Amino acid sequence: MLKLSTIQKKQIVGITGLAMVGFVLAHLSGNFLIYKGPEAFNGYAKFLHDLGALLWMMRAGILASFLLHMGFTINLVITNRKARVNRYYKYQNHRSESSLATQLMPLSGSIILIYIIFHLLDFSLADKVGIIQGIDYGLYGLVINTLKDPIHAVLYIISMASVGLHMYHAFQSVFQTFGLMSEKNQPRLVLASKVLGVAITLGYSSIPVYIMMNF
Amino acid sequence: MAEDKTITLTLKVWRQKNAEDKGHFEIYKAKDINENMSFLEMLDVINDTLTLNNQTPIAFDHDCREGICGSCGAMVNGVAHGPVSGVTLCQLHMRSFNDGDTVVIEPFRAKSLPVIQDLVIDRTAFDRIIAKGGYISVKTGSAPEANDTPIEKKKADASFDAAACIGCSACVAACPNASASLFVSAKVSHLVLLPQGHAEKKRVVQMVDQMDKEGFGGCSNAYQCQAACPKEIKVENIARMNREYIKEKSIR
């Protein structure tokens, strides 16, 4: 692909991934407005929509990041699989060197992809109607009504755990890929990555838990 | 003096006639093996028996048998160079095994390091990577005064640590992507940290390009290489290679 080296491809995967970390954090801060009630939540949604062209530019940016991230990852996986055609009869993973999150990157990534499709269908592309006790609360109501369903809530939490697990490996990995990791700062970066992964999972998962307990 | 302890093992060894042969596992009994033998000496003993029985001995690479030449190496029970960390296969001793153990012995595997026979692999891909810049150009002649070129202690140490790479290819063998990143980064780090290595700084780009061309995989930061390396080369070197790569690419 384009005669880029494996290092350059990995750098594209890293930088687009980092852009998406920013998106995930911004999205989460918006989601937290659900705790302030329907006006705040719907108001924020309206604010985003009123941005117009700027919103579309941001959407284009995140879509481009997503496509590049996935495209180059698939390309690299194909290269890597070809290099490793000769498999071992017996192979021991050094668990200490390669965390479970690292080994599960393909799985967590795939779950995220499937989740995004359903997420867009459930919320972004759906009619923003959510009737609670006879009153239409718009997007706020739609979120409440969707996540009130235990199946939706559980699948949502599993997806958010996948996002967290993905970041558990990914965030610190970007520093290695861009050559900013050293033996000295590695423990701190790995810790930051773990904290980020856990915080994102807990942050997003708190919403369906809150909804199921209160509605 | 007490007698040396002996153990008996079941070996499951990869046998492959040549590069074209599909290969298969063969079971051998290793009887009364002296615990103080090295792993290669144990194979020597097995090979003596095979030769006496008119069978083809197990082919394996070896040279110095003291862990500095980088010739030997095999996957022992799924671990490059066997269960003891920081040693090559020739430095592994039979006391690391228990009486009655089954030991699976496979060659280092990767598409770019094809098996020639049994446990012997073709590592010329590494030579072609080195030829792309794993050297410095200096005037030959009498050795220069040792302290002519002052070098920071920290840099000298880091360079020396990277220079410990013996090119055994355990990093490639252990990597889930069969990537040669640790090997290439060790060579790049070794030279780029020293002023003498600055003339050919573009080596990082050329060596990485050659590594890709040889069909090695890319780095996924799984760090299996660091765990497998008998010389304990750190993945910090891969970070340095990535950094140098960005620098060299952006200058042009």
Domains of chain B and any CATH numbers: 6-106 (3.10.20.30), 124-251 (1.10.1060.10)
Nearest residue, CB atoms, A88 vs list B106, B218, B242: B106
Chain A residues with beta carbon closer than 8 angstroms to that of B228? 94
Interacting residues of A40 by C-beta distance below 8 A, sequence separation 6+:
A33
- The sign of the dihedral angle between the CA atoms of B223, B227, B230, B231 is positive
CB contact under 8 A, B235 and A176: yes
- CB B199, CB B144: distance < 8 Å: no
Chain A residues with beta carbon closer than 8 angstroms to that of B240? 179
Chain B residues with beta carbon closer than 8 angstroms to that of A96? 227
Collapse the DSSP code of A94 into the 3-class scheme (helix H, G, I; strand E, B; otherwise coil) and give the result: coil
What's the pTM value of the predicted model, to 2 decimals? Answer: 0.93
Nearest residue, CB atoms, B78 vs list A84, A92, A102: A92
pLDDT (tens, 9 = 90+) of chain B, 252 residues, equals 567 899 999 999 999 999 999 999 999 999 999 999 999 999 999 999 999 999 999 999 999 999 999 999 999 999 999 999 999 999 999 999 999 999 999 999 999 999 999 999 999 999 999 999 999 988 778 887 878 888 999 999 999 999 999 999 999 999 999 999 999 999 999 999 999 888 888 999 999 999 999 999 999 999 999 999 999 999 999 999 999 999 999 875
CB contact under 8 A, B77 and A182: no
Q: Which residue has the tokens 């063998």?
A: B173
What is the reported pLDDT for A100?
Answer: 87
Q: Compute φ and ψ for A4, nearest 5 degrees.
A: -85, 150
- The sign of the dihedral angle between the CA atoms of A14, A15, A21, A24 is negative
Helix axes B181-192, B124-131, angle to 10 degrees: 30
In angstroms, the CA B15 to CA B12 distance is 9
Nearest 5°: the CA angle A205, A210, A215 is 135
Collapse the DSSP code of B74 into the 3-class scheme (helix H, G, I; strand E, B; otherwise coil) and give the result: coil
Beta-carbon contacts below 8 Å between A and B: 135
Q: Which residue has the tokens 């490996």?
A: A169
Show which of residues 142-171 on chain A sit within 8 Å of chain B, judged by CB atoms.
169
Q: Taking CA atoms, what residue in A is nearest to B246? A: A178
Query: Could you tell me the CA-to-CA distances from B39 to A26, A94, A206, B94, B122 in Å, in that order?
Result: 57, 21, 56, 6, 21
DSSP class of residue A123 equals: I
**Which tokens belong to B246?**
């960005």
SS3 content of chain A, % helix, strand, coil (to 5): 80, 0, 20
In the chain, the amino acid numbered B35 is E
CA B168 to chain centre: 2
Q: Kindly list the averaged pLDDT for each block of 10 residues, start to end, along chain A of length 215.
A: 86 97 96 95 94 94 97 96 92 74 93 96 87 90 94 96 95 96 93 95 96 89
**Which tokens belong to B66?**
């003291």
In angstroms, the CA A55 to CA A187 distance is 37
Q: Which residue has the tokens 């340095």?
A: B240
Nearest residue, CB atoms, A83 vs list B216, B221, B234: B216
ipTM rounded to 2 decimals: 0.90
In angstroms, the CA B32 to CA B76 distance is 19
What is the reported pLDDT for B72?
Answer: 97
Helix axes B124-131, B203-213, angle to 10 degrees: 150
Burial class (CB in 10 A: 0-12, 13-18, 19+), B27: exposed
In the beta sheet, which residues pair with residue B12? B27, B104
Q: Compute φ and ψ for B31, nearest 5 degrees.
A: -90, 145
Chain A residues with beta carbon closer than 8 angstroms to that of B111? 82-86
Q: Taking CA atoms, what residue in B is nearest to A180? A: B239
Interacting residues of B82 by C-beta distance below 8 A, sequence separation 6+:
B39, B76, B89, B92, B96
What is the reported pLDDT for B181?
Answer: 98
Q: What is the β-pairing status of strands B102-106 and B79-80? A: unpaired
What is the reported pLDDT for A97?
Answer: 61
**Which tokens belong to B107?**
């060659």
Nearest residue, CB atoms, B75 vs list A88, A173, A180: A88
